[in-house]
Structure formats: C-alpha cells, structure tokens
Amino acid sequence: MHALIFHRFGAPEVLHWAERPDPVPEPGQALVRMRSVGLNFADVYRRNGNYHLSGTAPWLLGYEGAGVIEQAAAGDTSFPVGMRVGFADMPYANAELVAVDLDKLIPLPDDITFDTAAATLLQGLTAQYLVTDSYPVQRGEVAVVHAAAGGVGLLLVQMLKARGARVLGIASSEAKRAAVRAVGADAVAGYDDWVAEARTLSGGRGADVVYDSVGRTLDDSLGVARIGGTVVFYGMAAGDPEPVDPRRLMDRSLTLTGGDLWNVLTNAAIRRERAAALFAQIRAGTVRPTIAARYPLSEGAQAHAWLESRAAIGKVLLTL
C-alpha cells in the first residue's frame, strides 16, 4: 500500500507519499480500504512535534475516515468484506489500508457518502455531546460559539438552532462570519466586538451557555455568561487560558465544565447509537456538513499547508 508519512517533525514539506507494508490486523480488527480521510489541526500539531507520537519514524497521521471492509476480522460476520464503514478514533488513517478495531467501526447507511462520514463523524459527534451532555440546551436559550466557522463550530451552530437556541457565532474574518450566518446563526461577531454582541443578543442578561475552544478567551467567556450560566471549555486553539479563581464561579453561581469526546464514546453501542442520531440529522437536513476542500491523500502536504493558513471554512478532506 501507499501512505502519507514523515521521518522528522517540521513544516508540511516533511510529509511524503511512499510505499509501506500493508497493515496486519490483530485479533478483533478488520482491514479497511480508505476512501476519504478527515484532516484536523491535531494532525498538524503531531507533525510539528507538539503532540506526543508513539513509536519511531516513519510516522503516520490521521484518526478518522471512511472506506470499505477489505478483510473481515477473523470469526466476525457483522462487518463483512465490501461493507461501507467509518470511524472517528483509530490511528494511522493516512493510508490506503487501515487496521481498525471492530468496536470503533461505524456502519454507513447507503445515503451517507464516504466524504460526509469523514467530514462529520469526529466533529459532529463532538458538537452532539456539547449540546446534549456538556450542557443540555433548551429552546429559547442564548448560546455563544467561539471559532464558529471551524469544523466543530459550523455543526455546533446548526445543532443549537435545531434545539431552538438563539446563537451568536464568533469568527475571525468576514468570509467566515458569512459562512456562520449561512448555517443559521442569529448574530455573528468578530473577536473585537463579540462581548458586546453577546450582551445585545441576550438583552443584557448574559448568555446561558458559552462554548469556548479558543482558550485565551475563557476569562471573557465567563464574563458574558449570565448568573447561573455555563461555560463549556473544550479546546485551546489559541493557547492555554489563564487560571480561573473559583471564587468567581461562586460569586455568580457559574458552572465551568470541560468536554472531551473520548469520555463520551465509551463503547461500541454508544458510538454507533450517537452516529446514527447524527446521520439522522444529516438526512433530515438540520445538519449540513461544510467541506472546505478535497485533496488527494498523496498531496497531503498541500492540504496541511492550506489548513495552517487558517483560510479553511469547514472540513478539509484527503481522498483516495
């Protein structure tokens, strides 16, 4: 098979397309021939050496994608050869063939394309738990979404609107704000005026919930939440936030909670149940994936460079 690999940390140019031995599935694994792979900033961070990578070079990135069962797991009949599947949390996806644990596999309905699965499983399941588990959003509540034009952000805005929330989406450029407005946000703002916009949308009361994946904005996020409101912290794209004095939470009865998808997808049944609910929303049209660009996996270096330019609106896919 061929795979997108790198031998040293660095700029996108360290990535190259090369022949590698086919993976040998372990017991409880099926071999998947990939058709579409999702690209994430986590891949960039690993390529740069900011995130831990196990083993030794050459390294292989990628954690999500979709394809077809090439070789069924020994003794398993639930995922036969030729079945269309996706996954959101299995390493080494930047290759033509990937060995995937059976409990990580998600069957794809006929009306969910490989690209749709690769564009929505990781970010869509993240947005889903943010609106159901981290804070169960109710109709009429005011929600603020940071990085609203990102892969999670655009899906999160749509899921919030489907639950009847009023949504302020924050994005860094006019093009990105236009995309956020197009998926249904009630108001949009840049990072120079979002605090005032949040107060306007909430009638001065403050937001019921603020979804913060930026990090350095956490202090202001706490400031715009209403008394008794919630801030959900689930990322730090712009760096670590300043420490929070717990007395601030006490004084205004605020809730600050964290979120991580892997604490939610704890077994195969939950993973597939939540994926089925996500697919139902896509089928109904209440959630529409935004695909920013498609690159052949063999041209992954160009895809990384474009993602790092921060010009992407939505999801970048690597296709085979």
**Environment class of 79 (CB within 10 Å of its CB; exposed 0-12, middle 13-18, buried 19+):** middle
Report the candidate in 158, 171, 132, 136 with the shortest Cα–Cα distance to residue 281. Answer: 158
For domain 139-258, give the fold: Rossmann fold (3.40.50)
Predicted local distance difference test score (pLDDT) of residue 283: 97
Predicted local distance difference test score (pLDDT) of residue 238: 77
Residue range 130-142, pLDDT digits in tens: 999 999 999 999 9
Residue in the block written with tokens 């050869």: 81
Predicted local distance difference test score (pLDDT) of residue 196: 97
Q: Among the CATH numbers 3.40.50.150, 3.30.460.80, 3.30.1490.20, 3.90.180.10, which is that of 2-120+265-319? A: 3.90.180.10
Q: How confident is the model at residue 51 (pLDDT cuts 50, 70, 90)?
A: confident
pTM assigned to the model: 0.94
Decide whether 2-120+265-319 matches 139-258 in CATH topology.
no
Predicted local distance difference test score (pLDDT) of residue 52: 80
Q: How confident is the model at residue 55 (pLDDT cuts 50, 70, 90)?
A: confident
Predicted local distance difference test score (pLDDT) of residue 31: 98
Predicted local distance difference test score (pLDDT) of residue 239: 78
Predicted local distance difference test score (pLDDT) of residue 170: 98
Helix (H) or strand (E) holding 122: helix 114-129
Q: Where are the domains of the chain?
A: 2-120+265-319, 139-258
Helix/strand/coil for 312: coil
Q: Where does residue 202 fall: left (phi above 0), alpha (psi -120 to 50 degrees), or beta otherwise?
A: alpha
Is 173 a residue whose pLDDT tops 80? yes
Least confident range from 123-127, 180-184, 198-202, 234-238: namely 234-238
